[in-house]
Structure 1
Amino acid sequence: MSETLNVVMNEEARRFEIELEGDVAFAEYRLVDHGIILPHTVVPDAFEGRGVGSQLAKAALGYAREQGLKVIPTCPFIAAYIAKHPEWHDIVHDTYRRQLGID
């Protein structure tokens, strides 16, 4: 079951975060020339199955779209999320499209 959670962009730590019951789930990002690398996502075990990772992915991808950035999804979770959701395929960097099977 997925619940709506507040995702915060923590620019100092360079990650999108969701605080839950004193713990933090996050998706790291690195801004590069005309792109955003999404290298790592962490969701504490206690919050798996609640859609936390998906909400982090949506926030990061939404930010990329708003800023006109191409996504470089080196995080396996983010890459799998994009592959399953065609609405994000257009913002994937050309170099990574084939790896995701969206070429």
Structure 2
Amino acid sequence: MEISVIDVPENNRYEARSDGSTAGFAAYTLTDELIVFTHTEVDPAFEGKGVGGALVRGALDDVRKHGKRSVLPVCPFVKSWIGRHPEYADLVYDAPATTAKD
């Protein structure tokens, strides 16, 4: 199943789409410095097919690409996904700085 993730700013959300259908979304609120992910939802017809993970990864990749805002993951799904994927931790607002180990 092919999943594409697009930003739909007029609806304040990223959408995961498959074959023209909206499979899920991640709602957000914007400030000058932050993108606050508030809620993630996957259509029941697409549950268990990796849509949620693809959605969060696609949204965070887009945030990284634009480089303007830090992420505040209020949504428990987004927060736990980032916890399992530490390569995205640097996007999180107020994340501790990593130090190089000798």
TM-score normalised according to structure 1 size: 0.81
- Unaligned regions of 5+ residues in structure 1, if any? 99-103
| Worse-matched range after superposition: 13-22 or 67-76 | 13-22
Higher strand share: 2
What residue in structure 2 maps to residue 37 of structure 1?
36
- Unaligned regions of 5+ residues in structure 2, if any? 97-102
RMSD value over aligned CA atoms? 2.0
What residue in structure 1 maps to residue 89 of structure 2?
89
The code of the aligned residue for 2:26 comes to A
Distance 1:64 1:23, change over 3 A: closer
Alignment of 1:8 with 2:19, yes or no, is no
Spell out the pairing of 1:48-59 with structure 2 (5 A cutoff).
48-59=47-58
Report if aligned partners of 2:28, 2:38 keep a CA contact under 8 Å in 1.
yes
Percent identity between matched residues is 39
Report if aligned partners of 2:28, 2:35 keep a CA contact under 8 Å in 1.
yes
Report if aligned partners of 2:2, 2:18 keep a CA contact under 8 Å in 1.
no
Report which of the two structures shows the higher radius of gyration computed on alpha carbons: 2
What residue in structure 2 maps to residue 101 of structure 1?
none
Structure 1 residue ranges (4+ consecutive) displaced by more than 3 angstroms after TM superposition: 19-24
TM-score normalised according to structure 2 size: 0.81
Distance 1:45 1:89, change over 3 A: same
Distance 1:60 1:66, change over 3 A: same
Alignment of 1:18 with 2:16, yes or no, is yes
